[in-house]
Amino acid sequence: MKYPEKLAPGATIGLVCTSSAISREREAQCTEAIRQLGYKVKTADNLSQNLAGYMAGDGETRATWINCMFADPEVDAIFCIRGGDGGSRTIEYLDLKTIKANPKIFVGYSDVTSFHLIFNQICGFVTFHGPMVSSNMVDSFDDESRASLFQALNADAPYEFKNPDGYDLKVLQEGEGEGTLVGGNFALLGASMGTPYEVNTKGKILFIEEIGETMSRIDRLVYQLKNSCKLKECAGILLGQFTRCPNKDMPEYTELNIFKDALADLNIPVMYNIQAGHGQPNMTLPLGAHCIISTKTKTICFDQIKR
């Protein structure tokens, strides 16, 4: 799996809306936030183009801008403005030949998960599950999230993923495992099933995070993956932030109980409390990278970085 080139000082970052739109005022704030980090900016012209109340233009418009940013030789990296809804409408319009020929830093999470799967599994390059511009960088880009993002973008092998101070990595099931890191938002992983970019977990480390889903919905997603052998096939599991995922009837029964039940008959190492997802801080994970996890040492390491 190919790593994109590092993000050099003064590089040009292209800003795209793969899903939902922002206001014109917010667009200006996003541009300024990137400039304050020391980078030049190119913006897609649909960032504030609101369609049907929640999408930044139609699917073809959004895909065209993604294609343009990958094709543009002046653009060194592509940062997603935000997640939201409607990313799946763009997929049929993506120019995968051009994208594969021009691997670049690509950063985002949430509804962006579909693009991570496509760029990792079909286009063959590493992408980054990390902070987005409007969602994270404008108002509250904390030091831990910032440091984690730029460590991941510019890493040399090997390097170790670290949670922020005060957030210990925890163990649900003991063991060691290694393989390509795949995953992202749980709802989008479920939605990938039966599509050409269906999440491939065979021999891989699976990362999962979620926001705003009930325990009954999470239970269905867990057993969807188990019944399709996606859990059985993976080499390990990393559970990120499950933000605002309530169980009103039995608050003490959480996603950890569901995963523990589902994995009881599977010899798979599982670590949780990884601070990546919809919370703050929001640490960065290189999806598509070779990952080694150990519950004994409570470490998550990445090696085999090839640019």
Residue tagged active-site, from 144, 178, 209, 255: 209
Cis-peptide into 281, omega within 30 deg: yes
| Strand pairing category for 12-16 and 40-43 | parallel
**Amino acid letter, residue 25:** E
Residue tagged active-site, from 20, 148, 255, 278: 278
How many residues are listed for the chain in this entry? 307
Please check whether residue 129 is in contact with residue 207, taking contact to mean a CB–CB distance below 8 angstroms: yes
Please check whether residue 173 is in contact with residue 268, taking contact to mean a CB–CB distance below 8 angstroms: yes
Please list, residue by residue across 8-43, b when 16 or more beta carbons sit within 10 angstroms of its beta carbon and e when fewer do: eeebbbbbbbbbbbbeeebbebbbebbeebebebbb
The DSSP annotation for 145-207 comes to HHHHHHHHHT--SSEEE-PPTT---EEEE--EEEEEEEEEEHHHHHHTTTSTT----TTSEEE
Q: How far is CA 116 from the centre of its chain?
A: 7
Is 25 in the active site? Answer: no
Phi, psi of 82 (to 5 degrees): -165, 175
Residue tagged active-site, from 110, 134, 148, 192: 110
Is 209 in the active site? Answer: yes
Is 110 in the active site? Answer: yes
Could you tell me the two tokens for 192? 């990938």
User: CA 222 → CA 210, 270, 273, distances in Å?
Assistant: 12, 14, 17
What is the rounded CA–CA span in Å between residue 29 and residue 64?
24
Could you give the residue numbers annotated as active site? 110, 209, 278
